[in-house]
């Protein structure tokens, strides 16, 4: 299993000098969760962006990273706003892998529960899934085109 | 999906007057995690015991609770010391359900990460599993008889 | 002892729908800290502003609230950017009270330690202080004109 | 200012293998709080005991540590059960110092708020106190013989 961290709200931390949240260029949030686990999980950080700032070049970088990995199961930590676009982009490549997108509505640094629950549920979901691209967020789990963010409610839901 | 809470370390809280940890007669830890999720999850508390104090009568109560539930997917939060015994007891009944045992080595009230990760991974694992009894702990996931607690290392591992 | 909450970073929380921090119109952060204490502390919320948005009218509201209180010891939770201006404004009134300004560089909701330490240290400091206006932040404690925020370092220091 | 850490509930952590809380031979809890502060605070660990296990020899070690310090202000982190005995022991030496005892009813590792509030309030209280021995716990602050633990309520109170 490989976790690819692309950034997004999941990873945001507070900068006390600027007084704002930012996407750090590291994987500290995921590493904190991984400490609780004994399984062997690889972790690779790329892009480190708010998903509103991702474009198709970024998506091609993500897709290449997935395609080149030796791992059969890939978890992608991603911003929630364009998670569906990146998932569709990757799905179009029809890779012979289990690829599960997840993220968080609240930064791990502010409330670790949702981020930890989402990442862990994605990992559990991937374990028994057949090849394909999925989204697992807030307990909503399914094929990438069956799960969508409701931006007004701030929650994910089945399409 | 139904979560059955039997107690165990997962739920322990600190009593400042006695100066010790105890298994509370409530489901507060699981409820805290459930708040982060939008999926519909039922929750039922029974026994509320340290698993070292569970006997076969307790296991029959657990088995009956599982058998009588309308839910197809059952997550059992259980103490780690006799999780394997209870899982075997339930497996012997060959119920037509997906039943995943989980718990925590550290109480949710002390470190929410491991407990949240275990419960969420169990839920994700259950979603795609075929009928049977499983244990999901600390990223180790498999049939109940393929996963075991290593009491010296304080970690779960594959048999 | 009366705690007057005017808002500021101390109180900020995350809005998952807008994806940003905001100053809530409540005193939840201070109430969480107060739960750990057994002493009788009054709490009054006013303004609820980022201190960069405070003007002299706001400061007159704060001053009036302090002057009208029956309490001899007043703790003011305030944003850090203009804490010195508000403290000077109040000091010019030469009230016969102990008035201690405090706040936080990191929201309580993100890291409870600094906010809890600052508020509690301000309360301890006030207990033995003679009448006057003081600032207590991050372990730096003194008369309002002897303590200043270093905006580049993101830390308070003695003038 | 010097913080002397003697152990007690304040410092207790959970041992996942034994399944119990223990007093660690380190100062990690106090160090975590100190990170939020910019003031220069020395820290010295001695004894590392549950205060029910402290005897007069231990108290003489504590008294000697205080007497030999160059610091004028001493904060003693101590278990709550015999905090009054140790404070009286030290008070009998009539040292020309400000000595404030504090601790916690709930371990910092379980709930950081009370421990952080108590230590920080003790530090603020000490800043303006005249020489003497004091207890500061849960917002209750005064001379060592005016503050007492109510073991039935699990709270400190004025005598």
Average pLDDT over residues A56-67: 98
Cα distances from A28 to residues A34, A105, C109, in angstroms, run: 10, 17, 19
Integer Cα distance of D56 and C134 in angstroms? 41
Q: Among residues 60-79 of chain C, which lie with CB inside 8 Å of chain D? A: none
Q: Residues D65, D4: contact at Cβ < 8 Å?
A: yes
**Token couple for C68:** 């009208």
Closest Cβ–Cβ partner in C113, C122, C126 for D36: C113
Q: Which residue has the tokens 């590792």?
A: D109
Span D45-63, pLDDT tens digits: 999 999 999 999 999 999 9
- For residue B149, what are the β-bridge partners? B156
Instruction: Note the ipTM here.
Output: 0.97
Q: Is A149 helix (H, G, I), strand (E, B) or coil?
A: strand
Out of C110, C152, C153, name the one closest to residue A14 (CB). C110
* pLDDT given at position D29: 98
Residue pairs between chains C and D whose CB atoms are closer than 8 Å: 102
Residues in D closer than 8 angstroms to B118, CB to CB, are none
Give chain A's largest Cα–Cα span: 46
List of residues 6+ apart from B14 with CB closer than 8 A: B20, B21, B109, D21, D106, D107, D110, D111
Inform me whether the pLDDT recorded for D39 exceeds 90: no
Rounded to whole angstroms, what are the CA distances from A88 to A83, A111, A143, D39? Answer: 9, 29, 10, 52
> Cβ contact (<8 Å) for B141 and A127?
yes
Helix, strand or coil, per DSSP, at residue C78: coil
- Tens of pLDDT, residues C58-82: 999 999 999 999 999 999 999 999 9
How many Cβ atoms are within 10 Å of D57's Cβ, its own excluded?
9
Residue B119 confidence (pLDDT): 98
Mutation target among B80, B120, B126, B156 for the A interface, most CBs of A within 10 A: B120
CA dist D77 → C129, D137, D158 (Å): 23, 11, 19
Cα four-point dihedral sign B74, B78, B80, B86? negative
Cα C137 from Cα C112, distance rounded (Å) = 14
Of B32, B120, B128, the CB nearest to A128: B128
CB atoms C17 and A106 under 8 Å: no
Cα separation, B41 vs D129, in Å, equals 55
Listed in sequence order, the residues at least 6 apart from D30 whose beta carbon sits closer than 8 Å to its beta carbon are D3, D5, D10, D11, D43, D77, D119
Reading the block at residue B139, the tokens are 């990223």
- The pLDDT assigned to C157 comes to 96
**Cα separation of A48 and A54, whole Å?**
10
Mean pLDDT of chain A: 97
**CA-to-CA distance for D151 and D159, rounded, in angstroms?**
13
CA nearest to B102, candidates B154, B144, B145: B144
Q: How far apart are the first and last CA of chain C?
A: 28
Reported as a single tens digit per residue, the pLDDT across C9-57 is: 999 999 999 999 999 999 999 999 999 999 889 999 999 999 999 999 9
CA separation for the pair A41, B101 (Å, rounded): 22
Provide the percentage of residues in chain A whose pLDDT is more than 90.
99
Is residue A127 predicted with pLDDT exceeding 90? yes
Single out the residue of D47, D125, D42, D37 nearest to residue D86, CA to CA. D47
Phi, psi of D56 (to 5 degrees): -70, -25
Alpha-carbon dihedral D107, D113, D116, D118, rounded to 10 degrees: -90
Return the structure tokens found at B127. Answer: 């979603």
Nearest CA in chain C to D31: C113
Q: Mark the ranges of chain B whose per-residue pLDDT is less than 50.
A: none
Best of C116, C147, C149, C150 to disrupt the D interface (most D CBs within 10 Å) is: C116
Percentage above 90 pLDDT, chain D: 99
Q: Are A139 and B1 in contact (CB under 8 A)?
A: no
What pLDDT is stored for residue D3 in this prediction?
A: 98
Could you tell me whether strands B98-102 and B73-77 are parallel, antiparallel, or unpaired per DSSP bridges?
Answer: parallel
Q: What is the pLDDT of residues A75-88, one digit of tens each?
A: 999 999 999 999 99
Alpha helices in chain B (DSSP H): 28-34, 56-68, 83-91, 112-127
Q: How many CB pairs under 8 A join A and B?
A: 103
What gap in Å lies between CA C136 and CA C124, rounded to an integer?
A: 10
pLDDT digits (tens, 9 = 90+) for C107-159: 999 999 999 999 999 999 999 999 999 999 999 999 999 999 999 999 999 99
Nearest to B126 by CA among A139, A146, A4: A139
For D3-70, the three-class secondary structure string (H helix, E strand, C coil) is EEECCCHHHCEEECCCCEEECCCCCHHHHHHHCCCCCCCEEEECCCCCHHHCCHHHHHHHHHHHHHCC
The residues facing D43 across adjacent strands are D3
pLDDT value of position B139: 97
- What would the pLDDT profile of A92-104 be if each residue is shown by its tens digit? 999 999 999 999 9
Do C102 and C118 form a contact (C-beta atoms < 8 A)?
A: yes
Distance CA D98, CA C81 (A): 33
> Checking DSSP bridges between strand D98-102 and strand D13-15, what pairing results, if any?
unpaired
Tell which residue, C78, C91, C12, C21, has the closest CA to residue C46. Answer: C78
- The Cβ of residue B157 has, within 10 Å, a number of other Cβ atoms equal to 14
**Single pTM value for the model:** 0.96
């Amino acid at each position: 299993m490989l976790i690819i961290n692309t950034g997004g709200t999941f990873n945001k931390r507070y900068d006390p000098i600027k007084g704002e949240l930012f996407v750090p260029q590291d994987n500290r949030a995921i590493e904190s969760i991984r400490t609780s686990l004994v399984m062997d999980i690889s972790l690779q950080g790329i892009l480190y962006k708010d998903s509103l700032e991702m474009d198709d070049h970024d998506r091609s970088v993500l897709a290449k990273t997935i395609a080149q990995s030796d791992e059969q199961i890939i978890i992608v930590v991603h911003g929630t706003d364009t998670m569906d676009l990146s998932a569709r982009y990757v799905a179009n490549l029809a890779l012979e892998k289990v690829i599960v997108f997840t993220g968080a509505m609240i930064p791990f640094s502010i409330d670790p529960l949702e981020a930890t629950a989402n990442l862990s549920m994605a990992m559990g979901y991937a374990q028994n899934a057949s090849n394909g691209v999925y989204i697992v967020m807030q307990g909503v789990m399914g094929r990438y085109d069956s799960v969508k963010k409701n931006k007004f409610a701030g929650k994910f839901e089945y399409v």
